Amino acid sequence: MDAIDAPLGRGPFIGRGMPRFEDLRFVRGSGNYTDDVSVPEQAHAAFVRAPHAHARIVSIDASAARRRPGVLAVLVGEDYTGDGHIGMAHLPNPADANDVKIPTFAATPERKVFDQLHLPLAIGCVRFVGEAVAMVVAQTPAAAREGAEAVVIEYEVLPAVTDVMEALADGAPTIWAEAPGNLALDCAFGDRAAVESAIAGAHLVVDATIRNQRTASAFMEPRAAIGSYDATAQRYTLISGCQGAHRLRHALAGCLKLPQERVHVICPDVGGAFGSRFNIYPEQLAVVWASRRVGRPVKWTSDRNEAFLTDYTARDVSRARGLPSTAAAACWRSRSSLPAIPEHTPSPTFRSATATASHQPSTTCRSHGCACAA
């Protein structure tokens, strides 16, 4: 259809199917994903992960791993912080949906919004199954895995809680000392009195408990990352499929305490994301940092077991109460899980007619929402 033939006011593109130009190479198997990329002199990484949902790290013995053929380095959390770096921020209190100049949730004098920086390698305590405790860098993927298997970690197992509602119960194990009662966020919106009045005057009130289940993205392409450091230019480079190279660059620069111009992020083809690749991951930060420690690029590719343990998940929202059928108002009291390690903190936006209360507990689980550590 020519522009002159388009219906009045619609323009030449409205109402017509637009051709896609990227499909042909994908259906021919010519996509270029992170694991398809190799860089000169790259080494490979494997992670030693916690088998417990909640435990104190008593000791880490990496001596046997360092003697394994092909192993270049065994790194732990103290190495990372010793280099002057900090953990990842997961923004549990994002900008408001209507006014980006203010945060969504307002802290109260009694309770601040729990915002714990997330180290790429745990120090002192693990809080979900699969949390990385040590990182082995070696000449080959096999040598890295064998080195990881040789790392001996002694744990003191602590009480765990994996259910959102149980985490808020009296006597539940405390996951973070900074979040008493495992309550990470406590806030309210709207006019509570007006809501209670509307409910009281309704001829029928439905009192219901609603559970929005946890979700796992399970994208086709497992996560992968390649980090490198150019000593001459003093610049770090990360190659990794993500949902926003600029956001990832900003996060990396913050963790490494560098100006953003010294961090370069390249996003090749991405084999699925669904929101789970939006935030920075520990492994992305770890390979970038390790590349400078070992003096060569470092590559890591997740397997499917690691994906189910460590990919960010979502939701797990429970309990709504008081739905008057005759009023436009609704009073929602919702609880959505906050991970023990706030890797990708849920940022729900509740919009009822008048009032909302939100409570987010910490559990011995990981990710955006909560995934059972059992």
The whole-angstrom separation of Cα 374 and Cα 369 is 16
Confirm if 75 and 159 have CB atoms less than 8 A apart. no
Neighbouring C-beta atoms of residue 21, cutoff 10 Å: 7
Question: Hey, what amino acid is at 141?
Answer: P
Rounded mean pLDDT of 153-180? 90
The whole-angstrom separation of Cα 332 and Cα 323 is 8
**Would you say residue 329 has pLDDT above 50?**
no
Question: Hey, what amino acid is at 8?
Answer: L
The whole-angstrom separation of Cα 110 and Cα 188 is 14
Confirm if 153 and 59 have CB atoms less than 8 A apart. yes
Predicted local distance difference test score (pLDDT) of residue 360: 56
pTM for the structure as a whole: 0.83
Predicted local distance difference test score (pLDDT) of residue 351: 27
Q: Which backbone phi and psi does 335 adopt, to 5 degrees? A: -125, 120
Mean of per-residue pLDDT scores for the chain: 83
Q: What percent of the chain has pLDDT over 70?
A: 82
Ramachandran area for residue 177 (φ above 0: left; ψ -120 to 50: alpha; else beta): alpha
> What are 196-217's pLDDT values in tens digits?
888 788 888 877 777 778 888 8
Tokens 């699925």 label which residue?
A: 272
> What are 21-80's pLDDT values in tens digits?
888 898 899 999 999 999 999 999 999 999 999 999 999 999 999 999 999 999 999 999
The whole-angstrom separation of Cα 204 and Cα 326 is 7
Predicted local distance difference test score (pLDDT) of residue 297: 98
Tell the burial category of 177 from Cβ atoms under 10 Å away from its Cβ (0-12, 13-18, 19+).
exposed
